[in-house]
Amino acid sequence: MMNGSLQRILFVDDEADIRTVARLALEAVGGFTVELAVSGEEALRWAGDFKPDLLLLDVMMPGMDGPATLRALRAMWQTAEVPAVFLTARAQANEVAALRALGAIAVITKPFDPMTLADQLRVIWDARDG
């Protein structure tokens, strides 16, 4: 079942600079524990042991893209119920709707603001049950 507070985030993005900025934004600014994965395949390897509260997934990645990664994580008992948020540079309404239909609780547009990313995720987290 869902626990109360958001603490552990698994962030999956193939771009090193975005991973670096996101880690700073989420750890230094947000106070979260963050595990970074460079690919969907790597996310599948880390997810079971890391036990994330939230999945933060880039949509467009080589190999396994964000939607494919989410489907694979949903098939693992450890992450089957973990809320997911997608990050995408292509945030047209129909694309956002398609991502939400895959089970994402929210979609954040890239480029994101590192100073507000943690707060954005807290708002999304607090609103997920309603």
Residue 84 has, within 13 A of its CA and on its CB side, a CA count of 26
The pLDDT tens digits along the chain (130 residues) read 344 799 999 999 999 999 999 999 999 999 999 999 999 999 999 999 999 999 999 999 999 999 999 999 999 999 999 999 999 988 788 999 999 999 999 999 999 999 999 999 999 999 986 5
* pLDDT given for residue 2 in this prediction: 46
What's the order of all strands across the beta sheet hosting 8-12? 33-37, 8-12, 54-58, 84-88, 106-109
DSSP-assigned letter for residue 87: E
According to DSSP, the residues that pair with 9 across neighbouring strands are: 34, 54
| pTM, to two decimals | 0.93
d(CA 63, CA 60): 9
Domains along the sequence of the chain with CATH:
8-127 (3.40.50.2300)
* pLDDT given for residue 52 in this prediction: 97
Task: Specify whether the CB–CB gap between 84 and 93 falls below 8 A.
Answer: no
